[in-house]
Amino acid sequence: MTVLAFLKLLGCLSLLMYGMKLLSEGLQKMAGNRLRHVLDTLTTNRLSALLSGALVALIIQSSTATSVMTIGFVHAGMFSFAQALSVIMGASVGNTFIAWLMAAEFNFSLSDYVYPLLLIAICLIYSREKRSAGESLFGLCFTFLGLGGLYAFAAEIDPIVIEQTSLFFSAMGEGYGAFAVFLFIGALITILVQSSAALMATSMILCSTGILSIYCGVALVMGENIGRAILTLNAASSAGLAAKRTAMAQLVFNVFGVTWAFWLFPIFVNEICQLVHYEAHPTAPGHNNLAYVLAAFHTCFNICNVVLFVWFIKPLEQLLNRVVKPTEKTEEEDDELKYITCGLLTTPELSILEAKKEIMNYATLTNRMFSQVRLLSSVNKLNEFNQLFTRIERGETVSDDMEGEIANYLNEVSDDRLSSATKNRIRCMLREVSEIESIGDSCYNIARTVARKIQSNERFTEKQTTHLHQMFQLTEHALQEMTKLLSAKNTPKEAAKSFYIEQEINNFRKQLRSLNIIDINNHEYTYQVGAMYMDIVNECEKLGDYVINVVEARLEEGAAHD
């Protein structure tokens, strides 16, 4: 094989892999958040979860993306273990459709008919509304062009090269040892190139030219199942406990399938060959039906595996609950990012789901920080005061760090080609993050004012303490309504309360400011005490403004999403 021929082979494989990537990403962008609703509404029972997993994998043409997406939903607390594993099992079946398309290319040369589609795709790509459809169409065309190039390349290989290569692989024999080697190679290739479609196409090429027997080709395809599960497990490595258990369950499911199929290997392959009317030991290398044998095996294997394994979901969950145990979390770990650290959802439209959950987590942290500030204002013992103030200081630092990390994550998501609605959503979410960080700053400013009062040995009067308690209650109520709004579906209805509370805070601040001037003039307390008192009141009023800014950004985000 010349260098030019080798480069042509790599180029065809690259075109195929890029086409599959573009097709999957384009379809995911077209489906957008509707994928989440499909999975959410169609996973009420085991059968519907299986069907929804197959449907989503069929739509986006990637079982790995479906599995990673599903585990991301588990990580975000949206799916249970049983729901997620059922979806993943269904996705393994839905993903086999691409193998049938490849088999059709090997028999009907579909790549000869994609050029008109390229013309349509180039027209769609310049339309803002239809851009994702154009990308998907380009991906489909590139996939078939890559397959066509591989098929043409296989036809041009020197028969002597084919014979020598075939003899080399034949020397390994056709026992279980050889099958195990090819299974391992298939898993390794899938992990390295992260494309089961490329492995399927390569298997079809190698078998159709006679370089590999159908048994070895099937073993390569079986290895792809192990490779996919390892990729998913790796993606979930930094996720939560539930996500790790789900990823581990997929590995168990795939290993279980490979084990029973490997045990019945010759019998199972022969049955598939008879189904497709192909002789497992043809007199001449190559056969038009051979690509269909691999596609049929891929489909039958996954369907049989689902039928056998679907009854063991609950026992597997109980087993993994005992094996994959939670680690004890420190207070510092409890304040860290929970949802975007693992980067599970690689599609921008779906990554927003992780960011939304993280913003909720961020808002909860600032809520807890304000509760600590309220407690700080009533602490009398110096030792307790210092400990609590240190925790608030740390909370402010964590708040700053979380703002930067969430904003960076959203900026990375926005680097991709997005719809205008999604860009608006990201802009609103960035505003939410910035305003929540300002809430954390206000909490810290109140704590510093309380610390300054303690250091100067000043005390608030009973009336001031009562008023501050009332202001703290209003502010805390505003924060609680904000947190509720961030997780609510009907945002306009929930937002009305926040605007009402903010108006109460403004009116109460004006009332306290007037009373403060009168009380200072009446010498009820010193000007310095009055200044510290109003610093806290004004900071609470600012905090209320920041809450309203978050509410407004959330309303804009909801409008962009709708």
Overall number of domains in the chain: 2
**Residue 527: exposed, middle, or buried by beta-carbon count in 10 A (0-12, 13-18, 19+)?**
exposed
355 and 247 in a common domain? no
Report yes or no on 405 lying in a domain: yes
DSSP 488: -
Structure confidence at residue 333 (pLDDT): 47
318 and 349 in a common domain? no
Report yes or no on 331 lying in a domain: no
- CB of 442 closer than 8 Å to CB of 542: yes
Structure confidence at residue 330 (pLDDT): 46
Report yes or no on 329 lying in a domain: no
DSSP 127: -
Q: Which of 530, 274, 549 is nearest to 433 (CA)?
A: 549
pLDDT in tens, 156-206: 666 665 665 666 566 565 677 888 888 898 889 888 877 777 788 888 888
- CB of 26 closer than 8 Å to CB of 135: yes
Last residue of a domain, one of 270, 298, 323: 323
Q: What share of the chain in percent tops pLDDT 70?
A: 83
Structure confidence at residue 289 (pLDDT): 67
Listing DSSP states for 139-158 in one string gives HHHHHHHHHHHHHHHHHHS-
- CB of 251 closer than 8 Å to CB of 227: no
pTM above 0.85, yes or no: no
Report yes or no on 369 lying in a domain: yes
Structure confidence at residue 331 (pLDDT): 47
Map 353-422 to HEC letters: HHHHHHHHHHHHHHHHHHHHHHHHCCCCCHHHHHHHHHHHHHHHHHHHHHHHHHHHHHHHHHCCCCCHHH
275 and 365 in a common domain? no
Structure tokens at 61: 């043409």
499 and 368 in a common domain? yes
CATH code assigned at 344: 1.20.58.220
Range of the domain at 473: 336-561
- For the chain, the first-to-last Cα distance in angstroms comes to 56
pLDDT in tens, 242-260: 778 888 888 899 899 999 9
100 and 33 in a common domain? yes
Tell me the C-alpha distance between 255 and 523, whole Å: 81
Structure confidence at residue 471 (pLDDT): 95
* Sign, CA torsion 192/194/196/197: negative
What does pLDDT average to over the chain? 81
pLDDT at position 38 over 80? no
**Residue 367: exposed, middle, or buried by beta-carbon count in 10 A (0-12, 13-18, 19+)?**
middle
Name the more confident of 512 and 152: 512
Last residue of a domain, one of 265, 290, 323: 323
502 and 394 in a common domain? yes
- CB of 506 closer than 8 Å to CB of 541: yes
388 and 259 in a common domain? no
pLDDT in tens, 369-422: 999 999 998 887 888 888 999 999 999 999 999 999 889 888 887 766 666 677
222 and 94 in a common domain? yes
Q: What share of the chain in percent tops pLDDT 90?
A: 23
Report yes or no on 166 lying in a domain: no
Report yes or no on 12 lying in a domain: yes
For the chain, the helix, strand and coil percentages under 3-state DSSP, each to the nearest 5:
80, 0, 20
225 and 347 in a common domain? no
Name the more confident of 79 and 165: 79
Greatest mean pLDDT among 30-39, 105-114, 223-232 lies in 223-232
Report yes or no on 189 lying in a domain: yes
Name the more confident of 535 and 273: 535
Structure confidence at residue 545 (pLDDT): 95
305 and 351 in a common domain? no
Structure tokens at 32: 């957008």
Report yes or no on 168 lying in a domain: no
342 and 229 in a common domain? no
Structure confidence at residue 279 (pLDDT): 60
Last residue of a domain, one of 270, 293, 323: 323
Tell me the C-alpha distance between 286 and 293, whole Å: 12
pLDDT in tens, 115-162: 888 888 888 888 777 777 888 888 888 888 888 887 777 666 666 656
Structure tokens at 498: 């926040």
513 and 381 in a common domain? yes
Structure confidence at residue 229 (pLDDT): 86
